[in-house]
């Protein structure tokens, strides 16, 4: 009897683990811009190679790239995607008109009905979001740096963006963004301009560490940014800063890191274990668990690196010379005696070197559930009842076994 009960409990726990593996089939897309007028998308394919170590191989086939929005009247630069609302935010670079919209944020409502195709629900119309500073009552324009690290969403849906002058990080509250897409239908919707309130998160007026900011990224409740500092400025200002996002925002960063280099840090991205950032033509990082004051260099030569975008915990998308490449960091580990030296080989590969229109890639964004926590988020939101029932069953059986024993 005891053996049967123990077997049932193990079966219940095994069932829960199998669900975790199955949710990796959730449709995920990569969006890529040419920085001129067109944005494409393609599915990120996933193959479960080994259930034992849950090792996944992912890639994007250039032949499966499709047009999302093309012939835009502005240059699409930094992009961010809200999975829950299915909204694509694009920092508007130089436009073909009078430049009045330069630095504002275009918003496209997307839809994905079959799990394979993304379409723009609002096409050919564009919502133009114009952030207005709540205290200064002036327009705040996004920086639009290529590489996908100047505009991010936090876990509450607030849109965080880098100000165009690089001297501040701004926030558009999620409730103001919600209002944009809850407006009543308009017969003449084309290029609808909407003012929304924005506020300071960290600026050079409040802290010396928010100076000449080059890139931002968000992982859970943490906000990271990099500074492009050289010479004497590097002696008193950190190159990498760690701070809180809502609701824990403070006037100064929680932690700062001095990078030993006369080259300022550039693009930045993070997963649940590591922070990766650009130093010249290299990707360096910080082990966030246990060795936060020590750095490592991936040791992979990069050529004209402009973008670093992490995908979950095992992949980094990079843009080199306008081509999309990847780094497999799924087995990155450290020697305890020398944590600055990664002891595992990082695999590098080419995905594609140009878009279907013959142009190079300027910026990318991953359209997926919460980065780094997609599996747990999917279980909690969609299979929560099944998983909870499985966990409850396993716990109950174990308690019975304990009583009988």
pLDDT tens digits for range 31-43: 999 999 999 999 9
Unique residue bearing structure tokens 């409990």: 9
Predicted pLDDT of residue 362: 93
List b or e across 70-105, with b for residues whose CB sees 16 or more CB atoms inside 10 angstroms.
eebebbbbbbbbbbebbbbbbbbbebeeeeebbbbb
Q: Say yes or no: 203 and 247 in one domain.
A: yes
Q: Give the separation between CA 85 and CA 107, rounded to whole angstroms.
A: 11
Task: With 0.85 as the threshold, say if the pTM is over it.
Answer: no
CA geometry: angle 108, 327, 283, nearest 5 deg: 90
Note whether 352 and 388 are same-domain residues.
no
287 and 383 both lie in a single domain: no
Q: Name which residue leads in pLDDT, 66 or 391.
A: 66
**Tally of domains within the chain:** 2
Q: Is residue 150 a contact partner of residue 142, using CB atoms and an 8 Å limit? A: yes
Percent of the chain residues past pLDDT 70, beyond the cut: 68
- Max mean pLDDT range (22-31, 262-271, 278-287, 357-366): 357-366
Q: Which residues pair with 192 in a beta bridge?
A: 127
Whether 78 and 14 map to the same domain: the answer is no
In this structure, are residues 88 and 33 in contact, taking their beta carbons and an 8 Å threshold?
no
Report d(CA 226, CA 317) in Å as an integer.
18
Q: Inform me whether the pLDDT recorded for 205 exceeds 60.
A: yes
pLDDT (tens digit, 9 = 90+) per residue, 88-121?
Answer: 999 998 876 677 888 999 999 888 877 788 888 7
Candidates 376, 404, 379, 399; CA nearest to 9 is 399
CATH number, residue 59: 2.120.10.30
Q: Are residues 308 and 395 in the same domain?
A: no
Structure tokens at 225: 């940014």
Mean pLDDT of the chain: 75
Domain match, 17 and 131 both: no
Q: Are residues 41 and 148 in the same domain?
A: yes
Strands (E), 190-331: 192-203, 213-219, 222-227, 240-244, 255-257, 265-270, 274-279, 282-287, 291-297, 305-311, 315-320, 323-328
d(C-alpha 147, C-alpha 335), whole Å: 31
Specify whether 319 is located in the same domain as 206.
yes
Q: Identify the pLDDT of residue 213.
A: 87
> How many other C-beta atoms are found inside a 10 Å radius of the C-beta of residue 234?
19
User: Phi and psi at residue 270, in whole multiples of 5°?
Assistant: -145, 150
* Domain boundaries, position 381: 1-26+377-405
DSSP per-residue codes, 276-302: EEEETTEEEEEETTTEEEEEEE-----
- pLDDT for residue 368: 82
Q: Are residues 5 and 116 in the same domain?
A: no
Q: Are residues 140 and 186 in the same domain?
A: yes
Q: Is residue 258 located within the same domain as residue 175? A: yes
Is 1 in the same domain as 135? Answer: no
CA neighbor of 93 nearest in space, from 120, 72, 123: 72
* Cα distance between residue 395 and residue 380, in whole Å: 18
Cα-Cα end-to-end distance for the chain:
10
263 within 8 A of 277, measured Cβ to Cβ: no
Reported as type and span, the H/E element at residue 339 is: strand 338-342
């Amino acid at each position: 009897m005891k053996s049967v009960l123990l077997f049932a409990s193990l079966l219940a726990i095994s069932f829960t683990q199998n669900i975790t593996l199955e949710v990796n089939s959730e449709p995920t897309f990569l969006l890529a811009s040419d920085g001129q007028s067109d944005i494409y998308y393609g599915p990120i394919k996933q193959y479960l190679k080994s259930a034992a170590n849950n090792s996944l191989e992912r890639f994007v086939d250039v032949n499966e790239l499709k047009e999302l929005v093309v012939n835009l009247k502005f240059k699409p630069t930094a992009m961010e995607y809200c999975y829950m609302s299915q909204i694509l935010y694009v920092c508007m670079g130089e436009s073909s008109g009078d430049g009045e919209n330069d630095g504002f944020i275009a918003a496209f409502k997307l839809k994905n009905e079959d799990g394979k195709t993304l379409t723009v629900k609002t096409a050919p119309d564009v919502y133009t979001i114009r952030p207005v500073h709540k205290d200064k009552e002036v327009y705040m324009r996004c920086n639009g740096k290529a590489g996908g690290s100047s505009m991010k969403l936090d876990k509450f849906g607030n849109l965080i963006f880098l100000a165009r002058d690089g001297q501040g990080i701004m926030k558009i509250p999620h409730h103001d963004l919600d209002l944009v897409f809850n407006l009543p239908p308009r017969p003449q919707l084309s290029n609808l301009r909407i003012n929304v309130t924005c506020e300071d998160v960290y600026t050079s007026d409040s802290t010396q560490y928010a100076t000449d900011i080059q890139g931002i990224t968000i992982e859970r409740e943490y906000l990271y940014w990099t500074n492009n500092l050289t010479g004497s400025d590097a002696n008193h200002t950190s190159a990498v800063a760690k701070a809180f996002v809502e609701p824990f925002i403070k006037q100064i960063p929680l932690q700062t890191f001095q990078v030993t280099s006369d080259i300022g840090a550039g693009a930045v991205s993070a997963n649940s274990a590591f922070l990766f950032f650009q130093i010249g033509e290299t990707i360096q990082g910080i082990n966030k668990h246990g060795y936060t004051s020590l750095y490592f260099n991936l040791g992979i030569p990069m050529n004209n690196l402009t973008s670093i975008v992490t995908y979950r915990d095992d992949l980094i998308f990079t843009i080199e010379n306008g081509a999309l490449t990847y780094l497999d960091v799924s087995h990155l580990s450290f020697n305890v005696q020398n944590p600055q030296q990664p002891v595992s080989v990082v695999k590098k590969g080419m995905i594609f070197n140009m878009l279907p229109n013959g142009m190079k890639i300027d910026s990318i964004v991953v359209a997926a559930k919460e980065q780094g926590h997609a599996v747990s988020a999917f279980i909690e939101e969609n299979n929560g009842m099944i998983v909870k029932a499985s966990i409850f069953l396993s716990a109950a059986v174990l308690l019975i076994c304990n009583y009988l024993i």
